[in-house]
Structure 1
Amino acid sequence: MTQLPVLQPGPSEVTGDHYLPARVDEVYWGRLPCEADSPVLTIESGETVTIDTLSHEGVLEDQGRDPVAFFAGHGIARDGVLDDAVALAASDHSRVVGVDGPHVVTGPIAVRGARPGDLLVMEVVELLPRVPYGVVSNRHGRGALPGEFPLQGEAFSVFASVVERADGRLAGSLPVAPASQKRAVFDLAPFLGVMGVAVAGDSRPHSVPPGAFGGNIDIKLLVEGAKLYLPVQVDGALAYVGDPHFAQGDGEVALTAMEASLRATVRFTVLREDEAIAQFGRLTGPMVETEEFLVPTGMDEDLDEAVKNCVRAAIDLLEARWGFDRSHALAYLSAATDFDISQVVDIVKGVHAKIRVADLDG
């Protein structure tokens, strides 16, 4: 295991204009913020926030709700376990087991001036691992093969360590079988699985299914440098993040990927309604932007319908931004655009389309 520093709560390695720790009395566990919730931080458009996020792995009930004991079983000393994870597990947080979701969410953050009709742009500036390890779990008949897995009771978790390759790059490592010395080593690409804005009304959404508000979208393209565009649902946007990953394959077929806590610095910018429409048309759901791609999304409990919704969103974007007629847009998408499965394990399944901007702006 590499000797990455453990980033306990506090001001070290904070580069944002503001710092938001994951305090027990402020985080949401299993639910997402709604319009009726008060912000824990209010910022100006364009400012950055360094946010501590917590993985739910190691704090859940089926792992003993004792991260010190859970990770000790994998050789991690007490000083290698995050204090805010320990505090959350020991708290009387209002999460209802078996009803609420597993995700720990930091926020909400109000962005002054954001209003419905605008887009909130969440730019991922920096993602720092808080620990040198993570966990991949399959549980409770969930994942891509419910009824077939897990093979080992209600929950099966695999401990994954962070190692350093010969060229200095960090990688994930996990055993191919219990007690095996042979290991699979794979690239790390940290990202936040949950990035969203509050929904209207006074009912907090479950943390698992994503939606037009974002939430648990699990799009692995949201690495450093990427941007997420979200339709603002309420005044101030009330943005939040969580579900940190060190790595994930498209699909996330086990149920979780390499889940591990991150210190994330995010820039929050309001894109006014008229400018947003001029650039992208009327977005009705999340869209990702990377250096290479614009990435519209489609979601539905039925994967076939999620694909259809993604194709429609991609056609709308091509029509609004580049002046395609809809038949030519479909032809271009078929010839040149990958439609990837974001995840199939969050009740509402996700698909995203990678439209290569250089094809159209060159």
Structure 2
Amino acid sequence: MVAFSAAPLLAQQGPVDPVMFDGGYEALQPLSGSAGPAELEGHGQGYYVPSTPETVQWGYLPNRDSEPVLTVPSGSVVTFDTLSHEGLLEDQGRDPEVYFAGFEVTRDFVLDDAVEITGSDIAHDFAVDGPHIVTGPIAIEGAEPGDILKIETLSIIPRTGYGVISNRHGKGALPGEFPETPVPAADASAENPEAYHNVSVFTPISERDGQYYGALHTAEGERVEFPIRPFMGLMGVASDTSEPVHSVPPAMHGGNLDINELGAGSTLYLPIEVAGALFYTGDPHAAQGDGEVALTALEHSMRPTFRLTVLKPGDEGLPMSGDIAHPMAETEDYWIAIGLNEDLDEAMKEAVRQSIGLLTGRYGMDRATALAYLSAGVDFEVSQVVDKTKGVHALIPKADFSALAVD
């Protein structure tokens, strides 16, 4: 265990008092500098993909022209070392050693891959590019357009004992109201990060009785704790385009879905658009409330492990009959239908349509009865409202259908 204590916050963070908190654990440094076969702790033989200048894109997602960093058979187990962008971006100085030293985090507890990437010549324009460090893609043998990639999240392990929650000017659920700091100055840059006047809240993490918690505090200094529920905000397949694909808005390829139900034990289904699927991941979160209203969740570098399986049309492993043209997911308790649109009302409508399609395609319900059931028995949650494309997802309880035969 290591003690983390937050020193006075940097100037660009505005009028936020520091948190003093003990906790944390050893940083999980990269397992290797290259992608390839590996013995995975807790998962046996599989594959490993690090985040290096050669295996990441910063701010953009893979497209049909992207070269895979690794090719694996269908059904393979793959561990990724992923990086949070927080503490690495230009408004934080693009130097994680210096940034986290401001919170008394010593170099031993700063991730080596974060230092390597920020110190590399990877181009990143803070004003234009997406913030996310996207790891991959990897190709899955036999994957073709029209197939479905089944992404089972087997585990997600935090790599550090701290994270960051940020609110930036012009973004979040209340742009123009928050952050309550001056607007960015003309000379704001990685060399002058304080001039952005953004608010980033360093958040230590500790363990108590087997549960991890993030810590904030009130203006009177009283500590507020909230439980950690790790998930990957960004999982996707390559889009069938040669145009750059921005990392922020989610779409049919998945990407930045930011659905907090998609932690360990969940499964995401994505329609494949290009040969090999070209799976990638990033935007790791320790915790996120529905809506993600500040702009970011508790951003926190993670080590996720997935099983990646190609499902051909008609495969018995598909969650429903008929074509699956939209992202959908499941957990032990729920089917998750996903609606995406720049308009939140339209995202809600799309989530209802996808829910009806799931109920008719899996359980043979007629459409009118499906809509009635959704109105009486299903919660629709706002995934996020801060990623240009809004997200709404339905949580359809599996237990309600336990007595039914599945088509």
- TM-score (ref. length: structure 2): 0.86
Secondary structure of the 2:176 match is coil
Q: Is contact 2:40-2:46 (8 Å) kept?
A: no
Specify the alignment match of 1:84 in structure 2. Answer: 113
Among residues 33, 37, 49, which one is paired with 1:20 in the alignment? 49
Distance 2:40 2:289 in 1: 28
Matches for 1:339-354 after TM superposition, within 5 Å: 339-354=380-395
1:117 maps to which residue? 146
Q: In the aligned structure 2, how far is the partner of 1:183 from the partner of 1:235? A: 50
Q: How much has 1:4 moved relative to structure 2?
A: 1.6
CA contact (8 A) 2:24 2:162 kept: no
The answer for unaligned runs of 5 or more in structure 2 is 1-21, 33-38, 183-196
Letter in 1 for 2:282: G
Instruction: Specify the code of the residue in structure 2 equivalent to 1:42.
Output: T
1:5 maps to amino acid = E
Match of residue 181, structure 1, among 209, 217, 221: 221
Cross-structure match for 1:261: 301
Q: What is the percentage of aligned positions where both structures have the same residue?
A: 53
The number of equivalent residue pairs is: 359
* Structure 2 counterparts to residues 137-176 of structure 1, below 5 A: 137-153=166-182, 154-165=197-208, 167-176=209-218
Take 2:318 and 2:110, find their aligned partners in 1: how far apart are those partners?
46
Whole-angstrom distance in 1 between the partners of 2:318 and 2:225: 43
* Aligned-partner Cα distance in 1 for 2:204–2:107: 16
Other-structure match for 1:274 = 314
How far apart are residue 295 of structure 1 and its match? 0.3
Q: Distance in 2 between matches of 1:337 and 1:280?
A: 21
Q: Distance in 1 between matches of 2:298 and 2:268?
A: 21
Structure of greater Rg: 2
Distance in 1, matches of 2:337 and 2:321, equals 10
Q: What amino acid is the match of 2:398?
A: V
Shift of 1:285: 1.6
State which of 349, 353, 358 in structure 1 corresponds to 2:399: 358
The TM-score, its normalising length taken from structure 1, stands at: 0.96
Structure 2 distance, partners of 1:278, 1:193, is 22
Q: Which amino acid aligns with 1:316?
A: G
2:148 paired with 1:108: no
Say if 1:281 and 1:317, in contact at 8 Å, map to a contact too.
Answer: no
Match 1:209 to one of 219, 226, 249:
249
Alignment-mate amino acid for residue 365 of structure 2? F
| Aligned equivalent of 2:75 | 46
2:88 to 37, 40, 59: 59
Instruction: Give the counterpart letter for 1:111 in structure 2.
Output: I
Letter of the structure 1 residue corresponding to residue 264 of structure 2: E
Deviation per residue, 1:320-359 (Å, 9 max, x gap): 1111111100000001000000000000000000111121
Q: What residue number does 1:93 align with?
A: 122
1:135 counterpart residue number:
164
Q: Deviations over 1:23-56 (max 9, x none)?
A: 1122010000001011001000111111000000
Contact 2:252 2:327 (C-alpha < 8 Å) held by counterparts: yes
Q: Offset of 1:13 from its aligned partner?
A: 6.6
SS at match of 1:86: helix
Q: Residue 280 of structure 1: CA displacement?
A: 4.5
Offset at 1:168?
2.8
Q: Distance in 2 between matches of 1:151 and 1:141?
A: 11
Q: What stretches of structure 1 of length at least 5 have no aligned partner?
A: none
Asked whether 1:2 is paired with 2:23, we answer yes
Any runs of at least 4 consecutive aligned residues in structure 1 with deviations exceeding 6 A, and if so which?
Answer: none
Name which of 332, 348, 361 aligns with 1:307.
Answer: 348
| Structure 1 position 335 matched with structure 2 position 376 | yes
1:37-78: per-residue Cα shift (whole Å, max 9, x none)?
Answer: 110010001111110000000000000111111111111001
Which residue of 270, 290, 296 maps to 1:250? 290
Question: What's 2:10 paired with?
Answer: none
1:277–1:185 Cα change, 3 Å: closer
Aligned position for 1:197: 237
CA apart distance, 1:278: 7.3
Judged with a 3 Å threshold, the aligned counterparts in structure 2 of structure 1 residues 13 and 77 are, in CA distance, closer, same or farther, namely farther
SS in 1 for 2:91: helix
Q: Does structure 1 retain, via aligned residues, the 8 Å contact 2:157–2:302?
A: yes
Letter of the 1:250 counterpart = D
3-state secondary structure, aligned to 1:122 = strand
In structure 2, relative to structure 1, the CA distance for the partners of 1:145 and 1:278 (3 Å cut) is: closer
2:314 and 2:321 in contact (8 A); partners too: no
Deviation at 1:163, TM superposition (A): 1.4
Root mean square deviation, CA, Å: 1.5
Separation of aligned partners in 2, 1:3 and 1:36: 41
